[in-house]
Structure 1
Amino acid sequence: MTDDHLAEAGYLDVPSAAGGSASRGWWDANAEEYLDEHGTFLGPGDFCWCPEGVREGDAHLLGDLTGLRVLEVGSGAAQCARWLVGEGVEVVATDVSLGMLAAGARYDGGVGRTTPMVQADARALPFADSSFDVAFTAFGALPFVPDADRVHAEVARVLRPGGRWVFAVTHPIRWAFPDDPGEAGLTATRSYFDRTPYAEIGESGRVLYAEYHRTLGDHVAELVAAGFVLDRLVEPEWPTGHDRTWGGWGPVRGARLPGTAIFVTHRGRPPR
């Protein structure tokens, strides 16, 4: 990929196909920088759901995984799946970015584990129908495609009836506020209902990065359409004494506004 310097960034209408395909190149190019910044907090083999620091070892949002087959969607460097491997869980991690998966292979070497990893677009999972019992993602895939309904449909396809689907995303209310962890991030400046994506455009006119907003209602409607039942919506509070900032997340905003929404669901009857 040739260098294409940033020319424009903001809330921009971009072609859906271009925005949806930008994620792979962006994460390939920025995997090392991202992990240099956040890798210590995430850990090479820990399961962190969100910047608030919720760990699966404490929260147990996936439930009892004994004897179950688990799929991680949009895994990044597969830190969460790697933790599950250490717990004796049969798991497969998928991500669209080869750069992230390569970093995951290095993490495997560092911790002495072998994590099954597959490069795949979450909208076209390379697995047979009903081949997993549980699927999850911690901020993977869903924010970076304009057609998240396709992700839900694919997850529903590869899950067995009753299988759990748990995913963490930026809390939708955050899109009404500037992405600033300080006081400036406490005043709403955009309509919550404005679904224009945030995008970065290169000098060539190519979409380098795109992130998409969905309201809570949008998320629920997409889940229902894919045949899922919402069991629980988790909105983690900012922990006392947790002073780390991560983009727009931090103790100032975290004390007043939710930053993460975690949807705990299961596959119900197929949609009509």
Structure 2
Amino acid sequence: MKQVKPKKNLGQHFLTDLGVARRIADTVDACPALPILEIGPGMGVLTQYLVKKNREVKAVEIDSESVAYLNERYPELRDQIIGEDFLRMDLNKIFGGKQFVLTGNYPYDISSQIFFKMLDYKDLIPCCTGMIQREVAQRIASAPGNKAYGILSVMIQAWYDVEYLFTVDEGVFNPPPKVKSAVIRMTRNNVNDLGCDEVLFKRVVKTVFGQRRKMLRVSLRQLFTPQTMPTPDFFAQDIMTKRPEQLSVQQFVELTSMVADKVNNTAL
């Protein structure tokens, strides 16, 4: 069977260490019984362990060469290999609207986009595991006050409990990436409602981290028009002297409500 050649334009780095592949596959055991959707299976090094979980398994692969290889290598999955772009898919159609576990050895260049899409379907995905660039994993798992803490940290931790599981060295890939990798698991927390406007919450988080070195009293001004700009006492509150990496998720929720209150009241 002809091997698939890794394609640089797709950011492919095929995992070659079977022990690591087995450990990644076992991360889905924390969410038992649910069907599994694997992203970017490549030549199926992770797939071979997922199919042994006695669950329904589907895989999304954008590379047509890999799809052909997988169809030949795993005939039992022939109708379960989806040759599409994950970022463009309607995830409600994957398992007929049923919840599922998301996993994979994610392409580094789109991993953040994958997780933002996960957030759009958070009620459908109670558990997400897999391997990504270590730097991104550190950002997702970071606590407030750390340099790595940022947009991904806040947006994901608002809805998921994050576990940084283990680090993976460069030498277990073909071709080896220039950075280390890490395996993480994200499990839905008990939050069903943030208690604030979720759209505005995203805007607030992205706006202030866009100027992460500035105090909130400076960066937040971008959210207001001349007509809705609050009075100076709004920007004189204690929280306004903080920088975004100092705020917890709950403080971002409270900040969003403060902004919403000013926008709505001023607009009346």
After TM superposition, the score normalised by the length of structure 1 is: 0.50
- The equivalent of 2:63 in structure 1 is 97
1:123 is paired with a residue of what secondary structure?
Answer: helix
2:152 paired with 1:222 = yes
Contact 2:168 2:182 in 1 (8 A): no
Q: 1:95 to 1:165 in 2, by over 3 A?
A: same
- The equivalent of 2:128 in structure 1 is 165
- The equivalent of 1:27 in structure 2 is none
- The equivalent of 1:41 in structure 2 is 16
**One-letter code of the match for 2:130?**
F
Q: 1:165 to 1:218 in 2, by over 3 A?
A: closer
Distance in 2 between residues matched to 1:55 and 1:118, nearest whole Å: 21
Q: Deviations over 1:203-239 (max 9, x none)?
A: xxxxxxxxxxx5833776325425542431123366x
After TM superposition, the score normalised by the length of structure 2 is: 0.51
Larger gyration radius, structure 1 or structure 2: 2
Aligned CA RMSD, in angstroms, stands at 4.0
1:77 CA displacement: 3.4
1:117 CA displacement: 0.9
Distance in 2 between residues matched to 1:134 and 1:245, nearest whole Å: 24
**One-letter code of the match for 1:84?**
L
- The equivalent of 1:231 in structure 2 is 162
Q: Deviations over 1:48-76 (max 9, x none)?
A: 5xxxx424358732224542111112222
Distance in 2 between residues matched to 1:155 and 1:70, nearest whole Å: 14
Distance in 2 between residues matched to 1:121 and 1:78, nearest whole Å: 17
Unaligned runs of 5+ in 2: 8-12, 143-150, 199-268
Distance in 2 between residues matched to 1:102 and 1:60, nearest whole Å: 26
Distance in 1 between residues matched to 2:91 and 2:102, nearest whole Å: 12
1:153 is paired with a residue of what secondary structure?
Answer: helix
2:102 paired with 1:135 = yes
Distance in 2 between residues matched to 1:79 and 1:244, nearest whole Å: 12
Q: 1:33 to 1:158 in 2, by over 3 A?
A: same
Distance in 2 between residues matched to 1:259 and 1:219, nearest whole Å: 16
2:116 paired with 1:153 = yes
Contact 1:131 1:160 in 2 (8 A): no
Q: 1:149 to 1:55 in 2, by over 3 A?
A: closer
Q: 1:61 to 1:124 in 2, by over 3 A?
A: same
Q: Taking every aligned residue pair, what percent have the same amino acid on both sides? A: 12
Q: Answer 1 or 2: higher relative contact order, Cα 8 Å, separation at least 6.
A: 1
After TM superposition, which residue ranges in structure 1, 4 or more long, deviate above 6 angstroms? Answer: none
Contact 1:152 1:223 in 2 (8 A): no
Relative to its length, the structure with more helix (as a share) is: 2
1:162 CA displacement: 6.9
Relative to its length, the structure with more strand (as a share) is: 1
Distance in 1 between residues matched to 2:14 and 2:155, nearest whole Å: 35
Q: 1:55 to 1:153 in 2, by over 3 A?
A: same
Distance in 1 between residues matched to 2:46 and 2:79, nearest whole Å: 10
> How many residues matched?
175
**One-letter code of the match for 1:33?**
K
Q: 1:171 to 1:40 in 2, by over 3 A?
A: closer
**One-letter code of the match for 2:83?**
Q
Unaligned runs of 5+ in 1: 1-30, 43-47, 173-213
Contact 1:168 1:261 in 2 (8 A): yes
Alignment of 1:139-218 (within 5 A): 140-141=106-107, 143-145=108-110, 148-160=111-123, 163-172=126-135, 214=136, 216-217=138-139
1:62 is paired with a residue of what secondary structure?
Answer: helix
Q: 1:244 to 1:144 in 2, by over 3 A?
A: closer
- The equivalent of 2:34 in structure 1 is 68
**One-letter code of the match for 1:234?**
L
2:84 paired with 1:120 = yes
